Chain A
Amino acid sequence: MGSRGRINAGKVAIAVAGHTSHVAKMAGLRLPVESHILQAFVSEPIKPLVHHVVSFGAELFYISQSDKGGLVFGGHIDGFNTYTQRGQFPKVQTVAECAVAVMPCVSRLRLLRHWGGIMDMTPDGSPFICKTPVKNLYLNGGWCYQGFKATPASGWTFAHTIANDEPHDLNRDFSLDRFERGGELDEHGIGNWTYKQ
């Protein structure tokens, strides 16, 4: 039911990063998802310095450079569930320390922009691309830190799942019931349990 009346559809797909739990709740579902905040940063523009993405695994940090010259970087989630979209200052310090550890030459750059986005974190750190217990309702969510670079495969397998009412071989394991089956996905696996990290 929207502000302009009721909208009907034969099949409904949920793809609403940040508030997946809330939309699913409308269908009576309770999900293995907890929403956390992740901060991102953009520096003032500089001449070409980084021509690809650099990932730093010793902490958790990534850095790349935009076409306009700003360095785009970020690190871990703040460490607790929130929808505020306001990052906590201590994490700004941690991420800046990572940046300088990887590339000391950036230490005197100023930040141009900084924001916090809401991440739907799953217990094993991997997403859902699947059917749900509700007939003709499909879910694509719980992408944690990831998502942007996975968009083509995510969209393609999700479309296949919706059209055939069956998952594709590629997304069969990204099901909602994988925790019941002992089928957790071991892909780095940084989930919402921040106290275990």
Chain B
Amino acid sequence: MRLPCPHCGLRDYSEFRYGGDASKERPKHGTGGFKAWHDYVFLFDNPKGPHREYWQHVLGCRRWFTLTRNTATNEVGAAK
């Protein structure tokens, strides 16, 4: 699998590190009950299909970006 780094272009996935589900909204600091934070940190939709996620180009420019990828096919969409 190759991933499109917004800075370096298309590179092998082994240069990157997966950073988790990017569709979850982090509760604002000082707000949200215990349950809201628990759900944010520990629960996953874990979809079989389109998934928005964080990646970091750790062995390249070290940039963080979000990517849409289909978890059923590994088809990679646009990076932001």
Q: Does B38 contact A (CB under 8 A)?
A: yes
User: A180-B38, A193-B20 are known contacts. Are A81 and B14 too (CB-CB below 8 A)?
Assistant: no
User: Nearest chain-A residue to B1 (Cβ)?
Assistant: A88
In the complex, the answer to whether A180 meets B20 with C-beta atoms within 8 Å is no
In the complex, the answer to whether B43 meets A30 with C-beta atoms within 8 Å is yes
**Bound CA span A33–B44, Å:** 6
A31 — which chain B residues lie within 8 A by C-beta? 43-44, 46
SS of B interface (majority):
mixed
In the complex, the answer to whether A179 meets B42 with C-beta atoms within 8 Å is yes
User: Nearest chain-A residue to B56 (Cβ)?
Assistant: A195
Q: Does B45 contact A (CB under 8 A)?
A: yes
**Bound CA span A22–B42, Å:** 17
Out of B13, B42, B71, which one reaches A83, CB within 8 Å?
B71
**Bound CA span A195–B19, Å:** 6
A79-B17, A84-B71 known; 10 other A-B pairs, CB under 8 Å? A31-B46, A81-B51, A81-B71, A82-B74, A83-B72, A84-B72, A179-B38, A180-B35, A195-B17, A195-B18
